[in-house]
Amino acid sequence: MNITKNKAFVIVLPLLLCCLFYSSVHATVIKVGNDKTYKTIKEALQQANPGDTIIISKGIYKEGNIVINKPICIIGEDYPVLDAEFKTEVLSVKSSNVVIKYLQIQNSGRSAMVDEAAIKVYDENNIIIEGNKLINNFFGVHLQYASHCIVKNNFIKASQKEEYESANGIHCWKSDSLQIIGNTIYGHRDGIYFEFVKNSVIWRNISQNNLRYGLHFMFSNKNAYITNYFSNNGAGVAVMFSKEVVMMNNTFEENWGDAAYGVLFKELSDCYLSGNKFLRNTTGVFFEGANRVTVENNTFIGNGWGLRLQASCMDNKIERNNFIGNTFDAATNGFLTLNYFNENYWDKYEGYDLNKDGVGDIPFRPLSLFSVIVEKNPPAMLLYRSFMITLLDKSEKILPSLTPENFIDNNPRMKPYTL
């Protein structure tokens, strides 16, 4: 297929999607540009009928706040630039059944009182925001009281240096049935933020180098987070006050700092983690007040702590995971643990397998005495790898006295799983 046909396909496909949203025998295509019928986007919007498509030619459009108040498709050719010059919100969507594609939207206003965004959806349904470049805005995409919306394949980047100067890349509040797919997000406060959002999916996104969290969600139930990549964010990923969350095949990498985690689980229940990779984080997963969480088939490599299970956690199952090259595989701050470890691979296991069934013949205690000491006295980390600490740890594994008796894997694997 030649370049001309490719361009035609890019324009025709969104037109077909518009027809699915709004069927009208009178729907027309309106073109905007210096050499077109309409010179400004606002003029074209005023003249357009519901179901029409507005195609914006390449150029720079400085029209301030543009309000979309009818079901319509807005498609860019060669990424026309909508520049708000740091004064206003750029696109305000106040109609359902709207498609916004292939625009470069930049320099929105910045106000903590108004929540100005590149694209903001107000209490509407069935919105598609796809293939846009959102550069140097306060909020990138902001959805409030929205449902059945798709935010897909957008490039979202901010350049603010401090958290108070920035807002979130994709911000969703009190919404339902959203699809956040294939977006790339850099430099915002939080890459993706959910609050009071349910029945939604976050899939195949890349969230890197954000000032606080790569993903942050609170009070958001029955959501799935699949095959995302979170790297080098200020504090990693935070999942709080939620239930029935599924997290599968995600990668959490290079999140370092005193209060940084691959994932922080706070007040979480009835959740499922599988197939995730936790690579070189201060803490792979930190559990606080988390109950009935199943953690299986995950890989923990090169973290400071693989798992930190606070005493407030119970009925969690940690099964068939790989723990490789972590400073501490597990830690807790209590003397009674009500969590279950089984059939994990621990590279620190020094047992044997006489019957060659792949399972160690003696149990493994992943909680080292030194990790208990460090949990209560962090400066003690200066003694790590000293002869005395090594001796104490080995003695504790033979005759446990200070570590919880039931913090144990009775069936440790001899070889790592292929996950």
- Residue of 122, 56, 49 lying closest to 83 (CA atoms): 56
Instruction: Report helix, strand or coil for 400.
Output: coil
For 46, phi then psi, to 5°, come to -65, -35
- Residue of 88, 37, 41, 107 lying closest to 68 (CA atoms): 41
- CA 252 from centroid of its chain's CA atoms: 10
Residue 385 banded pLDDT, cuts 50, 70, 90? low
Q: What is the pLDDT of residues 54-100, one digit of tens each?
A: 999 999 999 999 999 999 999 999 999 999 999 999 999 999 999 99
What local confidence, expressed as pLDDT, does residue 112 receive?
Answer: 76
- CA 181 from centroid of its chain's CA atoms: 11
- Residues 254/281, Cβ–Cβ less than 8 Å: yes
Copy the structure tokens of residue 50. 């519901």
* Res 284 pLDDT > 90: yes
Q: What is the pLDDT of residues 320-369, one digit of tens each?
A: 999 999 999 998 887 767 899 999 999 999 899 999 999 999 999 888 76
Instruction: Count other C-beta atoms under 10 Å from residue 262's C-beta.
Output: 29
Q: What is the pLDDT of residues 173-198, one digit of tens each?
A: 999 999 999 999 999 999 999 999 99
Q: What is the DSSP letter of 164?
A: G
Q: How far apart are CA 171 and CA 151, in angstroms?
A: 11
For the chain, the C-alpha Rg in angstroms (whole number) is 26
* Res 301 pLDDT > 70: yes
Q: What is the DSSP string of 127-159?
A: EEEES-EEES-SEEEEEES-BS-EEES-EEE--
Copy the structure tokens of residue 396. 């504790």
Q: What is the pLDDT of residues 119-132, one digit of tens each?
A: 999 999 999 999 99
Q: pLDDT higher for 244 or 258?
A: 244
Q: Interior CA angle at 103 toward 145 and 30, to 5°?
A: 95
What local confidence, expressed as pLDDT, does residue 367 receive?
Answer: 83
Q: What is the DSSP string of 29-62?
A: EEEESTTSSBSSHHHHHHHPPTT-EEEEPSSEE-
- Residues 277/298, Cβ–Cβ less than 8 Å: yes
As a whole number, the mean pLDDT across the chain is 89
Q: How far apart are CA 47 and CA 182, in angstroms?
A: 34
Residue 220 banded pLDDT, cuts 50, 70, 90? very high
Q: How far apart are CA 129 and CA 117, in angstroms?
A: 13
- Residues 357/335, Cβ–Cβ less than 8 Å: no
- Residue of 329, 368, 355 lying closest to 414 (CA atoms): 355
* Res 8 pLDDT > 60: no
* Res 382 pLDDT > 70: no
- Residue of 184, 126, 127, 179 lying closest to 153 (CA atoms): 184
Residue 2 banded pLDDT, cuts 50, 70, 90? very low
Instruction: Count other C-beta atoms under 10 Å from residue 48's C-beta.
Output: 22
Q: What is the pLDDT of residues 356-370, one digit of tens each?
A: 999 999 999 888 766
- Residues 63/42, Cβ–Cβ less than 8 Å: yes
Average pLDDT over residues 124-145: 98
Q: How far apart are CA 200 and CA 257, in angstroms?
A: 30
- Residues 87/62, Cβ–Cβ less than 8 Å: no
What local confidence, expressed as pLDDT, does residue 215 receive?
Answer: 97
Residue 4 banded pLDDT, cuts 50, 70, 90? very low
Q: pLDDT higher for 357 or 2?
A: 357
Residue 398 banded pLDDT, cuts 50, 70, 90? low
What local confidence, expressed as pLDDT, does residue 247 receive?
Answer: 97
